[in-house]
Every structure is written in structure tokens, then in C-alpha cells.
Chains A and B, each alone.
Chain A
Amino acid sequence: MNSQLKNIVLPLLATALLLGGTISCNIDQREDVKITNIQYFNIKPKSILESISQGKEDAFISVDTEPELASSSKDEPVAWNQTDYLQIAEALHELVWGESLGTWNLYRMVFSSGCDQVDIGFQSGQLVFFKVINLNGQETRIGHFIEIDPSRSFAQAMETEYYPDLEDWKAIDLAKVKISASEALQIAEKNGGYEKRTAVKNVCSISAGISRDTVVYDGWLVIYSPSVFIDKIDPVTGK
């Protein structure tokens, strides 16, 4: 493209892009979000898995408020992995909403711990599930948010409504996720995470999260924070 033509075409393109952008602000509709249910629970990290497997009713004790962030359990760190968190989430979901997670889509899950707990297990987990339903004649997305934080002996269950359903949430097919959160973390460790975290004397935090809607990466994103190391792990191949 000669320079004269470039001076004409490029500003036109930029103007078109800007105009498209401004008009898009109008075309863009906004979802309204409403929290329809939020419940807090006290849990006993040492015994909750056993309580759930035995069908005991005291696995989750309803409380009015969330504990302070600074309050940490006197118990030893838990040796929980992704499967353990999913099992607890399933039990909490049945308790709060009276139904299994079987018909719900998994949207996002993230597990975290301190860097010095890598060899022990994840010390908190957040899982988000969703379903699109017809509510009052309108497509509405329902979100079920479950947080399990054994470091504070705490669990949370929250339901939200998004209306109109404009965001095309993509579900994670767990059957296709061959690499678990723990395995993703171990791969990240070998890829440089171990070296980086020991260089800062384990004064850092780690998370392994997956969401198909993430801009950065739609597989496992393993973050060592603050700004220590990030690794992207394919949930099928582990590469």
C-alpha cells in the first residue's frame, strides 16, 4: 500500500472501528444479576469427608455470618484434592438445593494453597455451576457458587440469577479433563514452579484454576503469586 493510500485507508478503518465500538455500546445489552440465596456453614475439616460418606447430618452447620479472613483453623492443613472438593460440593449442593449436581454444568473451579503446602493439598476450593432455564417466559441463567475453605472451617453456597441470559457460558466436561488440579500443579512444579517458589522461600500462594471462558487460557492456569510464576497446562495432554 503506498503511503498516500495508507493515509486515507487507515484513518477510515480506525474510524469504522471506533464507530463500531461506540454503536456496540448501544447494541450491547446488560445482564442483571440477582443473588437469590446465600448460606454460610461451619465445617469440621478433620471429619467432614467421613461424615459425608456416612450420610451424617452434621457435616455442615449453618451459621449467620462468614468468619473473618484472618481467622484460621487450628486444625492441621487438609490433604484434599479435586475429588475431595467435588465430593463436598456435591453434598453441600444436595443439602442446600435438594438436588444432585448431575444435571448442572461445571463452569469454573479453582483450588489454592500456600506455597509451603504444595506437598500437602489444596486448602480452599471454589466451584461454579450453572444451568439455563426458562423463568417467567425468559431464558435465565442460574449460577450455583460453592466455596469450601477448610483453612477457616468454612463453606458457602450462593445462588444467582442472570437475566436476560446474554453470556454464553461454556461448560467444562469433567470426563474430558484427564489432568486433575493436583497433577496440573505437579506439572507446573516441574516446569519451573518449584524452583521459583523456593527462590522466594515459599512466601507465596498457589492456585490451579480452570474455566473455558478465561481469556488467558482455557485449560489449567497455575499461578504462583505475587508474580512468581505462571504455567498453562493442557487438561487433556498435561503439556
Chain B
Amino acid sequence: MGGVGVGVLTSHLLGFVPDYKGINIAEQHVANNNAIVGAGIAVQSEYYGPWDTRAGAPNGEHSGLGYAQATDTEMQALAQENPALQGMDQEDPAVAVQVMATRIEMAVNACNRCVDDTDRFIVAALAQNGSGFGIDSIKFLPVVNGRIYWDDVMLNQGRGSSDPIALTRQATTGMNYSTQFMLKLYSYDAISLINNGFILPDGYKNVNWNEINRLINLENKFK
């Protein structure tokens, strides 16, 4: 029994299985069954707890709060894009869903180098985290032969993390947490949600899953 529990926990920490807690939260609160927004909520809320509330968070304006893990500073920035968020509480699940939708929309809109649904899906996957791959990275995506050079992004980019669990996951998988690992978590959760009735909205319907899978397993091919 204990062995099974360890196996499940380990598999989860290493991203071998979808974020079931987060997926359940997404299914409860993402009313329009949007898999792009839902997968972001699933990834961000998987480890949600009292520590993600204003009462329990110690870092004030720089703590990620609510199911979308939004800081107060980010809320101000998002409200400039989506006025409906002005003065709203990111701990409210309905607001968290709006936060995630706006966060992803802003990132994808900023990606003037994205040319197809796969590019947009990858940007959504990396940007939903809210940190580690921000607007700066999106404006500076490397290009070669007229396309975004995702291989370099997966292996060579993505900012570091001060989160011990992120560092643990990074060290044990050998995957760049804020790019390759984030793409893996997000994709698995999106697929789980789609299997449960969620849909990919326009602009994401024709994702090349083989390319996503190739990028997730990029380095492993050469080990």
C-alpha cells in the first residue's frame, strides 16, 4: 500500500501523470470548457492550499494567490488589459479563471512570431505559469528558417526558479522546469480535460501533437 502511494506521489511530482486535483478544480470552475484556460488552472491549482491565500501567504504583493497563482502586482497589470479584473480578488475561483484567460490571451497576442496553432499552444503552456516565461521571453523567441526555434527555447531558455519543488522536479527529470517541463504538465492536463469533454478553442484546434511530444522528449532522444 505504502509502495503504491509512493509510486503515485513520485509519478506525480515527476509529471508522469496529469494533475488530477487541478483537473478536478478546472472542471468545477471553468464554465465554458475551454481546454486552454482549464489546463492552466489545472497546472496552477494542483498544489493549492491555505498557503495560497492572502491570510496564509507571507510574501505580500509578490505571493501567487488563488487557483491561478496571481500576485497583486500581476493583477494590476492584467486589469489594464481586462478592466473586468480591476479591484477583483484573485482568490475568488471565478476571478482566477478570468486571470488565467487574460494571462494566456495577453501572451498569445504578444507573440507576433507565432504562425500556427502549435506555436500558440506552446506559448499558452509556458505563459500560464505566470512567471519564468514572461512577455520578455515571448518578444524574444528565437527564429531560424522563418519559424520559432522551439528546440532552443526548450533546452536553452526559461528562467530559473526559487521554488524548491520546481528545482527538485527539474533536477530529477533533467527537464527545464519553466519551458519543457511546463509544456509537459500543461499538455497532459489539456489532453485529460479534452478527454473529459473540454474543447480547444479557435486558434488552437490544429495543434500538432507529434511536435509537442517531440519537444517534451527532446533531450531524452539523445541520452
Task: State the total of A-B contacts with C-beta under 8 angstroms.
Answer: 195
Q: Is B90 an interface residue (CB 8 A)?
A: no
Query: A25 to B47, Cβ gap below 8 A?
Result: yes
Q: Is B79 an interface residue (CB 8 A)?
A: no
A66: chain B residues within 8 A (beta carbon): 112
**Besides A145-B139, A206-B144, A207-B151, 4 other A-B contacts (C-beta < 8 A):** A66-B112, A112-B144, A124-B144, A168-B160
Q: CB within 8 Å of B: which residues of A?
A: 6-8, 10-11, 13-15, 17-18, 20-33, 35, 38, 66, 69-70, 72, 108, 110, 112-114, 123-124, 126, 128, 143, 145, 147, 149, 152, 156, 158, 160, 164, 166-169, 205-207, 209, 211, 213-216, 221, 223, 225-227, 229-230
A112-B149 CB under 8 A given contacts A10-B6, A27-B58, A167-B160:
yes
Query: A230 to B219, Cβ gap below 8 A?
Result: yes
Mark contacts of B48-71 with chain A using CB atoms, 8 A cut-off: 1 yes-contact digit, 0 otherwise. Answer: 010110001111001110000101
Query: B152 to A21, Cβ gap below 8 A?
Result: no
Q: Is B140 an interface residue (CB 8 A)?
A: yes
B218: chain A residues within 8 A (beta carbon): 227, 230
Looking at chain B, what size class is its interface with the partner chain? 35 or more
- Pairs A-B, 9 closest by C-beta atoms: A26-B51, A21-B165, A7-B2, A28-B163, A33-B134, A225-B151, A29-B62, A14-B9, A112-B144
Q: Which of B133-173 contact A (CB under 8 A)?
A: 134-136, 139-140, 142-147, 149, 151-152, 155-166, 168, 170
Q: CB within 8 Å of A: which residues of B?
A: 1-3, 5-6, 9-10, 13, 47, 49, 51-52, 56-59, 62-64, 69, 71, 73-74, 77, 112-113, 115, 130-131, 134-136, 139-140, 142-147, 149, 151-152, 155-166, 168, 170, 174-177, 211, 214, 218-219, 221-222
Query: A149 to B156, Cβ gap below 8 A?
Result: no
Instruction: For the complex, give the distance between the alpha carbons of A171 and B6 in Å.
Output: 39
A149: chain B residues within 8 A (beta carbon): 143
CB distance from A52 to the nearest CB of B (A): 22
Query: B130 to A21, Cβ gap below 8 A?
Result: no
Instruction: For the complex, give the distance between the alpha carbons of A14 and B13 in Å.
Output: 10
A124-B143 CB under 8 A given contacts A11-B2, A11-B5:
yes
A226-B214 CB under 8 A given contacts A30-B64, A158-B140, A205-B144:
yes
**CB<8 Å pairs between A and B, sample of 27:** A13-B6, A21-B13, A21-B47, A22-B49, A25-B49, A25-B64, A28-B163, A29-B62, A30-B62, A31-B131, A32-B74, A66-B112, A69-B143, A69-B147, A70-B146, A108-B157, A110-B152, A124-B144, A145-B140, A169-B160, A207-B144, A209-B152, A211-B156, A213-B160, A215-B177, A227-B221, A230-B218
